[in-house]
Structure 1
Amino acid sequence: MTNKKVATEPNDLGKYFVELANAGDVDGLVALYEPDAVLAFPPGNLATGHAEIRKVYEQFVAAAPVLEPGRLHPALVSGDLALTAATLTNGDVTVEIARRQPDGSWLWVLDQPVFQA
């Protein structure tokens, strides 16, 4: 099941993540990232590239989590880079860096879904 979402704004990525995760769409989740992106999840682990990110999300959706959209913070955009962040309903904070693609869409390059100070 693939429901490729095209992010026309950096914060679209966070919205689409919740939709795709709740639908169990691993392919859709992986498509939110650049091919060589780095995902820091679960905390203490790094997944680099689509193949490793796919493994993380296969395990994640197998647990059938029900995600609630958190509060998206305004994206901080400088040229083709954007810092995105959200406060989740449990109080955790996510922090990501997205890059504008040649077609004008956005993909995550770095993703720290559970930021711990």
Structure 2
Amino acid sequence: MPLAGGAAAFCRLAHAFPAALDDRYPDGVAFSGGAKFRAQPSGGRVMNVSNRICAALLLSGLVGWASGAAVAQEMAPSAADCFLPAFKSGDADAVTACYAEDAVLWIPGGPMVKGHAEIRDAFADFFADVTIKDVQISIMGDEVMGDTRASWGTYTVIRIDKATQAESVQRGRYVEVSKMIGGRWLYIVDHPADDPPPAPESEQDM
């Protein structure tokens, strides 16, 4: 907090100077013409003024630091910025690095997994069968509340089956919660869910 630190140093100086001056010149400093100046006039008006100035400076410094920290958090890459290139490259380790150590992931059509080991195994199994041709997300909402961030939207994954080379499109929606940990946004909860399959034509005609 550079600004707050500077304000604190000023306050220490402002409080020390009047007392030091009066210790050296207890009767005041005489000027030509007989006028005298005392660093601490009766009633402690100088100290009261300096106290008010110091309080204002410290408050401004703290507010400025808090605002700067909030801007830095919002400017930091999101967990999705970490996840998307790692997922597209099929790198289970890089994907896992986008999650907090105790994160929870719900796998579309599968079980819940928790923690780095289970999350890594889940993605490693997935990437063993498919190659990711492309992945896109459409963000519908994104809210930052202190060190916590919530996002939601839809996704599209184009994948190729490694055994058959068949291409398929996976669409769904997601809700995710991330937390600022060590200067990075990391998932603590990730809940993607595939869209339901389209209804048979006979049902659509009804």
Tell me if TM exceeds 0.5: yes
Cα shift at 1:66: 2.4
Instruction: Provide the residue aligned with 1:34 in structure 2.
Output: 100
Q: Give the structure with higher Rg (CA).
A: 2
Instruction: Provide the residue aligned with 1:65 in structure 2.
Output: 132
The Cα offsets for residues 57-108 of structure 1, whole Å up to 9 and x where unpaired, read as: 101222223232121234211111111123113651111100011x321100
TM (norm. structure 2) is: 0.47
Equivalent residues, number: 108
Which of 112, 129, 132 is residue 46 of structure 1 equivalent to?
Answer: 112
Gaps of 5+ in 1: 1-6
The Cα offsets for residues 1-56 of structure 1, whole Å up to 9 and x where unpaired, read as: xxxxxx924xx322332211111111110000000111000334110100000110
Contact 2:92 2:123 in 1 (8 A): yes
Following the alignment from structure 1 to structure 2, what is the Cα–Cα distance between the partners of residues 73 and 25? Answer: 26
Counterpart residue type for residue 73 of structure 1: M
RMSD of Structure 2 on Structure 1 (CA): 2.3
Contact 1:21 1:67 in 2 (8 A): no
Counterpart residue type for residue 186 of structure 2: L
TM (norm. structure 1) is: 0.79
Instruction: Provide the residue aligned with 1:56 in structure 2.
Output: 122
SS of the equivalent of 1:42 reads coil
SS of the equivalent of 2:183 reads coil
Structure 2 residue 76 is the aligned partner of structure 1 residue 8 = yes
Gaps of 5+ in 2: 1-74, 157-169, 196-206
Following the alignment from structure 2 to structure 1, what is the Cα–Cα distance between the partners of residues 183 and 194? Answer: 28
Counterpart residue type for residue 45 of structure 1: P
Following the alignment from structure 1 to structure 2, what is the Cα–Cα distance between the partners of residues 33 and 115? Answer: 20
